[in-house]
Amino acid sequence: MEITEVRIKLMEDNSGSNERLQAFCSITFDDMFVIRDLKIIEGAKGFFVAMPSRKLTDRCHHCGTKNHLRSRFCNQCGARLDENRALRDADGRAKLHADIAHPINSACREKIQAAVLASYAEELERSKLPGYVCRYDDFDDDYDVVPAANPYETSAPAASAPQGPPLRRGPLRSHTQHARGGQPVFRGPHVAPRPEGRPATPADRDAEFGNGL
């Protein structure tokens, strides 16, 4: 397995709580597999690479909703949560994150860290040149996308399929009582369509009275 590409995104503003975070990066293995959101952090003993991670959660004792371990109150019901409920390591530090992807031995970790930090140093030099453009893209699509086949698509229409578009009678009305988020949902009138070609009868006209109001 070889690291074939490393892309670096330098932090433009790392003041405040992110002052130790120097850059994000993505690494590509064998031109086939990409891992994103690695972090380059400045520690007390120098720079190191942190693997992509997610926040650990647990369930509220009152309603069962998941909350981050640093949450003091439940996001769903507002119940107070124990602030010291996170597990702690041998040094007493709370375990708040879990790696999404990580090396399983020190040799692999050292190889990744060496490649990332070397690319970080090169990116710092490139950033000083005029016209510098970052190559890291949060939404880049560098893989082939094959559209899924439509399971309902057939080579020929069914024999019983209608030859023309369905009839619609009356204007569309917005049914706000069925809407979500205040947005109207447009539906047709609650009257069955009359077969095409049949003239209207007095009974049809009576049924249409008030249609579209």
Of the candidates 64, 57, 70, 49, the one whose C-alpha atom is nearest the C-alpha of residue 3 is 49
The structural domains of the chain, with segments of one domain joined by +, span 1-52+101-137, 53-99
CA distance readout (Å), 173 to 56, 100, 176: 47, 49, 9
Q: What span, in angstroms and rounded, lies between the C-alpha atoms of 177 and 187? A: 12
Pick the CATH number of 1-52+101-137 from 3.90.1150.10, 3.10.20.30, 3.40.50.1360, 3.30.1120.40: 3.30.1120.40
Overall pTM surpassing 0.75 (yes/no) = no
Per-residue pLDDT tens listing for the chain (213 residues): 899 999 999 988 766 667 789 999 999 999 999 999 999 999 888 999 999 988 888 899 889 999 888 888 998 999 898 888 888 887 878 888 788 888 899 999 999 999 999 999 999 999 999 988 888 876 544 444 444 444 444 444 444 444 554 454 444 444 444 444 545 444 444 445 555 555 656 655 555 555 555
Output the DSSP codes for the chain: --EEEEEEEE-S---GGGTTEEEEEEEEETTTEEEEEEEEEEETTEEEEEPPEEE-EEE-TTT--EEETT-SB-TTT--B--TT-S-B-TTS-B--EEESS--SSHHHHHHHHHHHHHHHHHHHHHTTSTT------TT---S---PPP-TT--SS--TTS-SSPPP--S--EE-GGG-BTTB--EE--SSPPPPTTPPP-HHHHHHHTTTT-
CA pair distance 10, 23, nearest whole angstrom: 4
